[in-house]
Amino acid sequence: MHKNLRILYITTESVQQAEDIGELIVKDELAACVNIIPGMKSIYRWEGDIQKDNETILIVKTHISKVQSITNLVNDAHTYECPCVISLNIAEDEGNEKYLKWLLKESSNR
């Protein structure tokens, strides 16, 4: 019933950057909702070296039709050379039915 809903997992360098990007996404009607989770510690390999950074997670709830537009927006607005934007499928028959209906209504093409 709620096909093609997605959660995007995005990392940012700061809470402010997450807020700025999240506000653009919602204002441009690309997603129903974004959540910001500060205080993440990331350890990763970049250009052959181990890096450790504090980051902020931005979780975006949207429709598959908006994923590429959000990815393009993030690439344009982000300070990272290679921003993390990962799309995860929301199972169509799992979760709060009322919430999934709202998410579909607010994030699909109008």
pTM summary value:
0.91
Which domains, ranges and CATH numbers included, belong to the chain? 5-107 (3.30.70.120)
pLDDT given for residue 93 in this prediction: 78
- Based on DSSP, count helices (H) and strands (E) in the chain, helices before strands: 3, 4
Q: What is the mean pLDDT of residues 28-36?
A: 96
With pLDDT > 90 as the criterion, what percentage of the chain qualifies?
Answer: 81
CA distance 110 to 105: 8
Cβ(61)–Cβ(31) under 8 Å? yes
Residues in the chain: 110
* Nearest in space to 11 (alpha carbons), one of 80, 69, 106: 80
pLDDT in tens, 41-76: 999 999 999 999 999 999 999 999 999 999 999 999
